[in-house]
Amino acid sequence: MLTRIEPSGFWDPGDEPVPHAHAVPLTRWIDALDAGNVAFLLRAANQDACDWLKRDRIELHLRGVMLDACDTEVWPLLEDTWAISMTVAGGIELPENAMHVHLVSQRLAKELAFDFNGGSTPSFSVYPIAGMRTAEAVQENIREMNALLEIIVNNQLTTQFQPIATLSDGKIYGYEALIRGPHHTPLRRPGALFHAAAKAQMIAWFDMACLEQCFQQASSLGLKHHLFVNVEAEGLDSINKHDRPLASRVRDAGLRPDQVVIEITERQTLDDFPRLAEAITSLREQGFKLAVDDVGAGYNSLQLITELQPDFVKIDRNLVKNLDVNGARRGLLATLVRYSRQIGTAVIGEGAETWDELATLIDLDVTYGQGYLLGKPADVFCGVRKDLRQDIAARHAQRSQLTMGRGVKVSGLMRKGCTLAADAPLAEAARRFARDASLTSIVIVENDVVRGLLMRQALDHILNMANGARALKMLPDEEAGGWMSTDFITASPDTELGEMMRMAARRQSVSLDNDIVICEVGNRYLGVLPVRTLMESLSTAHQFGSRYSDSLSGLPNRVVLEHTIKERLENKQPTGLLRVDVMYLEAYNRRFGTAHGDELIKGLVEILQEVAPAREGHVLTHLGGDDFVVVTQPENVEALSNEVSKRFSGLAPRLFPFETSQDGYMEIEEHGRLNRVPLCSLAIAGLTGKNTRLTSVMQALQTLDMILHSVQAAGTGGCSIDAIQPRKAA
């Protein structure tokens, strides 16, 4: 027996009370679909429109909008929804018939709205629904179709929002909208909802209902960020066949199209890209952004990114899982990140559930992250908790230090690791390894003091035999400490990565799967650093080193200088700047050769490195040629200036022949005559912020430049701090 639909619930012919006047058996709809007809759903937007809508009005306007004569039938399906059947000769598959259906659906809604209220507001929606092959197919899906229609008509769809965070500071970039059905029903989860819609061949209609629900709920919560919404391939293909453009629906909800990111999956898009290209182009023209979801789940990720050039690619969770210990996955993701960055596409890592996975995404320069660690789906907009934001910002700053050639200590890459007491059962160690695929070692401790290291490979043969809980109980009755190795590497948290690598290289037994144990004074356990992570970090530093350093001196360049000043100003740290420039270096090169000029620069670099060592917190940068800047504390500026001037004066005997030094000038031939040029000296400009508050990188460097020019204008070198008037250098 077929079930009839009531706006408020199910009704069966054997039940009481008598059904609503608008309720009809679904057999009428089934017969129309079974005959190969096209079915439309015509829906009124409000109660007034619902009361106004009558059969004769629908039929009148339907005849007016059809291009060809067709057999049509109209009947009420729900309280605010009418069903329309239209016979199309040759079937909907013919291109000309598909266009006819598209025009009818668009024009019918507009004509009805014009007759109802002059077209001042959208009052009716028309949804084309593809016909089913057989009545038997519909019969099998009646219950799900009933449930799905009831959910939509009774506004039982809800939306939850999962945060997408920026992996430089942990701040919210946007939210993914996840559709939900009623609680405690089989159609609660989105997969079940879309499965039911697919079986009823209602994807296009249901997709639009979901989108409108997402837009309205996001707007009601006061969305200020981006909104990511999912669209199925069939819904995408039909998106231009609805009565109103998607951009209009977004604006009606109180949002902007440029806030909305349309997500389509790699699999469904690649299957029929040419057919979907028109819809994708239309969405972009309306202002929407595009994301390709589940990238990495298939084998054609790069091809799809090339074809679509989306605004975002979302990395599949299966690629992110255990990313921190899976070198092959990291390699694939690194390739995707590099390629995406080259074409201007941002990368979002989905499914980050552990800190190590998230930290690896940051290390690989993934722009955004999403996953349970950052935030679970919720009914309201939630941010990332403060401590996690701080950890993200610290990890990103550490990566910036690596890429810019600045020293990084092992504590920044340290992981919590796993510990066991020496007398713990061996079975417990085996359980830890079996439960956590990312675990490469267990540190054996006694009162927090490290005693040894138990490596996974030491138990591999046992773990292979112990495939279940019962098998684990059959392990030898031994203590975990009996299997540990005492031949392992330890380091203090302040050890720099370069030094750590040199220590590891001296141990021939070390492999990529080893862990370095990080300890405090007294061998007290802090954490572990995988050798693989150490090597990848150093590789990153080497890869970017040439980009952020000067080729002659090897010192960090202007990019590092600007980043350092910006970082200090943002953190409200007292900042002092010292700029050092060699006067008359060009004349020196012409007189004695560029090789001697390079030696002069190297000599100055040695002086600066000795006077302003990195270990004391100074940052020495090379702007190119003979121009250097030291970032330091304001109280150090004058002392550094005096010491640099003094030491450079001691360098002079090595720079010039004795006679030239005695003369006090260089003779340079120009245009057939000899000109006297002063000997090389230093022009030094200092800035402490005492007279001028430093507010931005540009303002600080421009002020420093003005002070330096005033020193150079004197022609004899010298030093000026915080003032335009120079004083002679020592």
Q: What is the pLDDT of residue 634?
A: 93
Coil, helix or strand at residue 142? helix
Per-residue pLDDT of 626-668, as tens digits, reads 899 999 999 999 999 999 999 998 887 778 888 888 888 888 8
pLDDT at 168 over 60: yes
d(CA 357, CA 488): 25
Q: Are 45 and 122 in contact (CB under 8 A)?
A: yes
Per-residue pLDDT of 134-158, as tens digits, reads 334 444 555 666 667 667 666 778 8
Q: What is the pLDDT of residue 392?
A: 93
**With the C-alpha atoms ordered 332, 334, 337, 340, is the resulting torsion angle positive or negative?**
negative
**How far out from the chain centre does Cα 701 lie?**
32
d(CA 697, CA 563): 8
Per-residue pLDDT of 689-718, as tens digits, reads 888 888 899 999 999 999 999 999 888 888
Q: How many CA atoms lie within 13 A of 397 on its CB side?
A: 17
Single out the residue of 368, 226, 210 nearest to residue 290, CA to CA.
Answer: 226
Share of the chain above pLDDT 70, in %: 75
Instruction: Tell me the pairing of strands 441-446 and 449-455.
Output: antiparallel
Which residues are CB-neighbours of 16 under 8 A, at least 6 positions away?
Answer: none
Question: Which range is least confidently modeled, 103-117, 268-282, 284-298, 378-392?
Answer: 268-282
Average pLDDT of the segment spanning 604-613: 90
Q: Cis (ω within 30 of 0) for the bond into 17? A: yes
Per-residue pLDDT of 336-378, as tens digits, reads 888 888 888 999 999 999 888 998 899 888 999 999 999 999 9
Q: What are phi and psi of 517, to 5 degrees?
A: -90, 125
d(CA 147, CA 182): 10
Most confidently modeled range among 299-313, 442-456, 574-588: 574-588
Which tokens belong to 331?
């390699």
Per-residue pLDDT of 311-328, as tens digits, reads 999 998 888 888 877 767
For residue 32, what pLDDT band results from cuts at 50, 70 and 90? low
Domains defined along the chain, listed by start: 4-140 (3.30.70), 150-399 (3.20.20.450), 411-542 (3.10.580.10), 549-721 (3.30.70.270)
Q: What are phi and psi of 436, to 5 degrees?
A: -125, 105
Per-residue DSSP letters for 305-346? Answer: HHHH--SEEEE-HHHHTTTTT-HHHHHHHHHHHHHHHHTT-E
Supply the mean pLDDT for the chain.
Answer: 78
d(CA 61, CA 127): 16
pLDDT at 279 over 80: yes
Average pLDDT of the segment spanning 561-569: 86
For residue 128, what pLDDT band results from cuts at 50, 70 and 90? low
Q: Are 122 and 252 in contact (CB under 8 A)?
A: yes
d(CA 170, CA 83): 49
Which residues are CB-neighbours of 69 under 8 A, at least 6 positions away?
Answer: none
Please, what's the b/e burial string for 566-590 (b: 16 or more CB within 10 A of its CB; e: otherwise)? ebbbeeeeebbbbbbbbbbbebbee
Q: What is the pLDDT of residue 91?
A: 59
* Cα angle 579-549-492, degrees, rounded to a multiple of 5: 100
Say which residue, 136 or 558, is predicted with more confidence. 558
